Amino acid sequence: MAEEVDYTNLPLEERLDHKVWKARLSAYEELSKQFELSRNDHDPVFTSQPPDVFKKILTDSNVVAQEAGYRAFINYLRFGGNASVASRLVKTIGIVQPICEKGLSSSRKGTKESAIESILIMVEYIDTPESLVEEITSHLGNRLPKLVAGCVTALDAIYENFGCKIVPPKAVIPSLGKLFAHADKNVRSETTKLTVELYKWMGESLTSILFPDLKPVQQKDLISAFEAVKNEKPQQKRLTKTQKDELAREEGASAASKSSGQEKEDVEMNDATVPETNYDPLEFVDPVEVLSRLPGDFETRISSAKWKDRVEVLEEVQAVLEKSPKLVKNEDYAPLVRIFAKNMDDANIQVVQLAATCANHVAKGLGKDWTKYQPIILKQVIERTKEKKPSVASALDTFLDTMFSISGLGGSILEEAVAGTTLKVPQNKIACANFLQRCLAHVSTPPKSTEVEMIMPAGLRLLSDSQQSIRDAATELIGTLMKITGERELNKYLDKTDDNRRAKIFKVYESATVKCSSPQAGSAPSSNTVPIKKSLSSRTSQPGRISSSGSSTIPSKREASSPAKRGDDGKASNLGKGLTSRSLSKPTSTSLRPSKAINSNSLSSNHVNLSHPQAVQRASTPPPAAPPQIEYVVDPKMEQELEKLRQEVKRFQEQQQQDRSLIHQLNQENVSLKEEVSSLNSRLENEMRSSSIAISHKDTQVNNLKIELDKVNHRVKDLETEREINKLQQSNQTYLAREVVHPDHDNSSNREPDIRKGVHRLSLTESDQQIKHPSAAEKGGIGYNRPSFHSISSNREKLDVDAGDDWKRAAEVTQQLKKRIERMKARARTPLNVE
């Protein structure tokens, strides 16, 4: 057995081009070790070999040597790479092509991972990673599925590590539609991963570009995949060389400025890889010019009297706009927006829905530049919110939310929404109140006092409406506003509101979720009950007597007037009546908070002898203009009874609230069921209409078949008649032939009378009838009864002479019969032709 050759003694250059793969393997390993042991990126080892040699190393025919060659290339980039080296490798040498063709498509896991790692390192160093991505995307149309799947995996790794801010996805997005239509399932699977990674950075702007090119099944799968990562915030996992240098400079500056006692904090700061920065998903998309792509006859067709023409042209416009998430901003979109505003008044709701959707695409595409076009269409959209159909209402609400997200409460949104609450249609009031509630829930800065002064009168007006749905919408609006401004800010507006409605407002106030809050909104009410109940409970809990000032809700006329009754019992009973009948039902504004006069009197009563009732009365005496005080004695049993009544009232209010919510839910279900019933009725009507049309069509077919059957029957009768005539003619011709052939036959004398009888039978004239039926005189003639030889001979001669005439007459009769048959046919055809 031959000994193994030691190739390490050969020069490195010779081993790099050696035919034996083991020699090349030793050369690649030695080269990798030299790169790893280099002193810096300017070491001579990096210039000892030209960069072109790596193009040959990465395409080595032996898979083991190829994997070692990738390790050497990675060390070359890691220890000696910089921006100029990476740019030269990508743009001049074209190193990406061999990596894609031989590395990313390799069946060895180590080689494939090394190929992806080498690409990521080059992205770290190169100044323009778009050129590297373009080199990879050029191989996505290759016929080898393994190569295409490897390139997609590399792109996914690039965007997963660096994100769309470092590597713009403009070159990748146009290829996604073709990749999803690829025949290989591995390619489609890797494309899904890449698309999900792009969605983390681009959001809904990616779906608007990509979904029009996909099938509904593919869209459904992607939507479910997007939902799983919808709440994930994308973050760059790998730093570029520039970012590393900048971060090192910042850490060096911070370390120099801080004391040594803060070294631990500095070390902890080093753990952060990339600072979180806000980004706009539309910055990864190029603006599109759409006005020139609209149909040339757009204005003519949108003004057509036929609603189908208007719907068709709006669908074409929507197809153009939904593929353009970012629009060119230096164009004039005012004429287009005016057309959409005019469509808001269209009688066909499908036209309204399409116009709102198209305008929404324009608003999203323009962003902040939409504010100058907003006044053109905002009022019309607010007025059209009267539609109850869910699809139309959803399109209008989405458009309104988009306009709010762009301009906030400014841009006349607040004024138009408040004005919409005064419209006559109840649906307008509900939609505008809900829109204002959504705006307040998502507003980033608290509304100003002037804005609160605009919202609250509209909310209170809706709160007193006769319809429950409108009152509920107003409750949500006021409760959300109170969550931002606080209870104190809105107390002056809610003075005259009854307890039940205030309780609902406070319940919304506690459960509402907003993005901002003012300093006054820090303290929430302690319970869902109305503040009047709190004041009553606090007053009744004090021992001794309860004094009522001019602000008390208990009238003085409830004082005991009969001298026969005990004073304490009368006062206690009147107290119970007053608390249960008056103060718990309709509180006044003065009872919401304790008056300042009472607080000041309580503070100044420290020097008064509380044991003397007169002193207490002087200390708590109101000004002369106020009515006199009335004192009541509180019985502990009555106080317990009052507490029970309060709890019962509270339980009753909670039960009432639950019942109302259940009624509201049942009403919504009833509305949905009514809509379903109406849709089923419309379907039933359509099916009945189609069934009646089918039945009438079948009846028409049956009538036509009957007519055809009658025609066939008439034809059969005509053919039978014609056949009989032909038979008669054939029998006559046969008879004549026999007479011609045998003129002196003995039976001729016997056949002549038969012929004559046949002729007489076919005759239609009166003379024929006379011949057929001879007179009685002729029958009784002597010559007839007693023929002589002479007469017999004369008759024979006569028969011989008339034989030719009889055949002529038979022919005439035949012609007459034919004419008669033709007339009968004509009469039979006349009614058939009319139908």
Instruction: Check residue 211 and give its pLDDT.
Output: 86
Of the ranges 358-362, 445-449, 535-539, 577-581, the best mean pLDDT one: 358-362
Q: Which of 185-189, 464-468, 831-835 has the lowest mean pLDDT?
A: 831-835
And the tokens for 570? 């009368």
CA distance 551 to 626: 10
Task: Decide if pLDDT at 232 tops 70.
Answer: yes
Residues in Cβ contact with 446 at an 8 Å cutoff, skipping those fewer than 6 apart: 484, 485, 516, 517, 518
Whole-number Å distance between alpha carbons of 139 and 96: 10
Instruction: Look at residue 334 in the predicted model and tell me its pLDDT.
Output: 93
**pLDDT value of residue 435:** 95
pLDDT of 42-51, one tens digit each?
888 888 888 8
* Span of 450-459, 577-586, 746-755 with lowest mean pLDDT: 577-586
Report the alpha-carbon angle 812-815-817, nearest 5. 110
Q: Are residues 514 and 624 in the same domain?
A: no
Q: How many angstroms separate the CA atoms of 453 and 448, rounded?
A: 9
Q: Is the pLDDT of residue 628 over 70?
A: no
> What local confidence, expressed as pLDDT, does residue 646 receive?
87
At residue 780, the pLDDT reads 44
Q: What span, in angstroms and rounded, lies between the C-alpha atoms of 699 and 693?
A: 10
Contact 456, 483 (CB under 8 A): no
Mean pLDDT of the chain: 78
Report the share of the chain in percent with pLDDT over 70: 73
CA dist 15 → 28, 58, 65, 75, 731 (Å)? 9, 15, 12, 19, 121
**CA distances for 246 relative to 161, 269, 273, 275, 515, angstroms:** 18, 14, 12, 12, 35
Spatial distance between the Cα atoms of 359 and 378, rounded to a whole number of angstroms = 11
Both 428 and 410 in one domain: the answer is yes
Torsion of CA 314, 315, 316, 317, to 10 degrees: 50
Q: How confident is the model at residue 278 (pLDDT cuts 50, 70, 90)?
A: low
On whether the pTM is more than 0.85, the answer is no
Q: How far apart are the first and last CA of the chain?
A: 109
Domain boundary among 135, 167, 199: 167
Residue 258, pLDDT > 50, answer yes
* Residue percentage of the chain with pLDDT more than 90: 39
Residue at 206 is within a domain:
no
Q: Are residues 369 and 496 in the same domain?
A: yes
Indicate whether 536 and 471 sit together in one domain. Answer: no
SS3 269: helix
DSSP 437-475: HHHHHH-SSPPPHHHHHHHHHHHHHHHT-SSHHHHHHHH
28 in Cβ contact with 65 (< 8 Å): yes
* Domain identity same for 157 and 115: yes
**Given 522, 557, 579, which residue is the final one in a domain?**
522
Number of domains in the chain: 4
The pLDDT of residue 525 is 45
In 3D space, the residue among 146, 234, 246 whose CA is nearest the CA of residue 186 turns out to be 146
Q: Decide: residue 476, CB within 10 A, 0-12 exposed, 13-18 middle, 19+ buried.
A: buried
Q: When comparing pLDDT for 581 and 288, which is higher?
A: 288
pLDDT tens digits along 703-727: 999 998 989 998 898 898 888 899 8
Taking a C-beta distance cutoff of 8 angstroms, is the pair 462, 431 a contact? no
Mean pLDDT over 354-363 rounds to 94
Report the alpha-carbon distance of residue 634 to residue 579 in Å, rounded.
12
Predicted pLDDT of residue 362: 94
Nearest CA-CA partner of 481 in 451, 525, 526, 501: 451
Q: How large is the C-alpha radius of gyration of the chain?
A: 53
514 belongs to a structural domain: yes
Q: How many CB atoms lie within 10 A of CB 521?
A: 20
Which tops the pLDDT comparison, 311 or 750? 311
Closest among 38, 40, 10 to 23, alpha carbons compared: 10
Residue 763 located in a structural domain: yes
Q: Mean per-residue pLDDT for 782-811?
A: 55
Average pLDDT over residues 283-298: 85
What's the whole-number mean pLDDT along residues 129-147? 93
CATH number of 129's domain:
1.25.10.10
Residue 537 confidence class, pLDDT cut points 50, 70, 90: very low
DSSP notation for 482-537: HHHH-HHHHTTTSTT--HHHHHHHHHHHHH---S---GGGGPPPSSSS-HHHHHHH
Task: Decide if 560 is inside a domain.
Answer: yes
Under the banding of pLDDT at 50, 70 and 90, the label for residue 757 is: low
- In this structure, is residue 228 part of a structural domain? no
- Please state the three-class secondary structure of 38-53 as a single string: CCCCCCCHHHHCCCCH
Q: Kind and range of the H or E element at 391?
A: helix 390-407
Closest CA to 108 of 67, 51, 139, 144: 67
Pair of tokens at residue 653: 């209010």
Same domain, yes or no: 486 and 535: no
Q: What percent of the residues of the chain are helix, what percent strand, and what percent coil, each to the nearest 5?
A: 70, 0, 25
Q: Is the pLDDT of residue 781 over 70?
A: no
Q: Is residue 732 part of a domain?
A: no
Answer yes or no: do 516 and 598 share one domain.
no
Other beta carbons within 10 angstroms of residue 2's beta carbon come to 4
Comparing 25 with 610, the larger pLDDT belongs to 25
**Token pair for residue 327?**
């629009």
Q: Are residue 368 and residue 499 in the same domain, yes or no? A: yes
pLDDT at 756: 54
Domain final position from 609, 634, 659 = 634
DSSP string, 115-161: HHHHHHHHHHH-S-HHHHHHHHHTTTT-S-HHHHHHHHHHHHHHHHH
pLDDT-derived band at 53 (thresholds 50, 70, 90) equals confident
Count of C-beta atoms within a 10 Å radius of residue 424: 7
**506-513 contacts, C-beta under 8 A, 24 or more apart:** 506/479, 506/482, 506/530, 507/479, 507/657, 508/475, 508/476, 508/478, 508/479, 508/480, 508/482, 509/479, 509/482, 509/483, 512/441, 512/479, 512/480, 512/482, 512/483, 513/441, 513/483
Q: How far apart are CA 82 and CA 99, in angstroms?
A: 19
Q: Is residue 276 part of a domain?
A: no
Banded pLDDT at 644 (limits 50, 70, 90): confident
Rounded Cα distance between 78 and 223, Å, is 39
Return the H-helix or E-strand segment holding 547: strand 545-548
User: Is pLDDT larger for residue 561 or for residue 201?
Assistant: 201
Higher-confidence residue: 151 or 552? 151
Helix (H, G, I), strand (E, B) or coil at 756: helix
Measured N-to-C along each axis, helices 426-442 and 413-420 cross at an angle, to the nearest 10 degrees, of 150
Least confident of 439-453, 470-484, 519-533, 538-552: 538-552
> How far apart, in whole angstroms, are the C-alpha atoms of residue 339 and residue 311?
13
Are 561 and 573 within 8 A, CB to CB? no
Is residue 297 located within the same domain as residue 434? yes
* Whole-angstrom distance, CA of residue 354 vs CA of residue 398: 12
Point out the least confidently predicted range of 82-86, 115-119, 604-608, 688-692.
Answer: 604-608
Nearest to 809 by CA among 753, 768, 749, 752: 768
What letter represents residue 243's amino acid? Answer: Q
Label residue 409 by pLDDT band (50, 70, 90): confident
Q: Across the strands, what pairs with 632?
A: 546
Parent domain of 50? 7-167
DSSP string, 620-684: T---TTSPPPEEEEPPHHHHHHHHHHHHHHHHHHHHHHHHHHHHHHHHHHHHHHHHHHHHHHHHH
**518 and 536 share one domain:** no
Mean pLDDT of the region 387-394: 93
At residue 684, the pLDDT reads 92
Residues 461 and 376 in one domain: yes
Q: Is 93 a domain residue?
A: yes
Co-location of 511 and 602 in the same domain: no
Classify 306 in phi/psi space as left (phi over 0), alpha (psi -120 to 50) or beta: beta
| Mean pLDDT score, 759-773 | 47
Contacts of 93 (CB under 8 A, 6+ apart): 51, 52, 54, 55
